[in-house]
Structure 1
Amino acid sequence: MNIALKVIAIILLGVVIIFAVQNMALVEVKFLFWSFETNRILIIGVPFVLGALFGPMVYRVFKPR
């Protein structure tokens, strides 16, 4: 990975962390028949982390040859 991509990744991570920390209020999540309260930071952070983990894996599987 070249230096520019690393810098962009670090900046993006910093922006997501700042955004998540500033939005730590409790929110009610409703899904089908369930309803629960959780921190907004989890609603923001979990999809980001999952995307960061699974994105490269999916890219490798569907990479043009």
Structure 2
Amino acid sequence: MGWKALGGLAAAVLGLLFAVQNAAVVEIRFLFWSLAVSRAVLVVLLLAVGFLVGWIAHGLFSRRKA
């Protein structure tokens, strides 16, 4: 087994542990909306949104410099 496969397996195990330990359902309320979602799903979605916002901001600011 190579280093990449071992690293991927370790990441998968850590991700599974994170999901199991954060399986509790939390309620999110914003203005008139209410949503019940697993805490692990919420963290992953917020992480994805953060990456997307950072990627878009980086693209906008790097174009202005050039």
**TM-score in terms of structure 1 length:** 0.55
Tell me which moved more, 39-48 or 55-64: 55-64
Distance 1:29 1:60, change over 3 A: same
List per-residue Cα deviations over 1:8-59 (Å, max 9, x = no partner). xx8xxx4x83674121111111111222311111210111112223322310
Distance in 1 (alpha carbons) for counterparts of 2:22 and 2:51 = 20
Q: How many residues align?
A: 52
The corresponding residue for 2:52 is: 53
Percent identity (aligned): 29
Pairwise CA RMSD: 2.7
Question: TM-score, normalised on structure 2?
Answer: 0.54
Q: Runs of at least 4 residues of structure 1 off by over 6 A?
A: none
2-structure distance, mates of 1:37, 1:18: 21
Consecutive unaligned residues of structure 1, counting only runs of 5 or more, are 1-9
Give the gaps of 5 or more residues in structure 2: 1-6
Choose 1 or 2 for highest CA Rg: 2
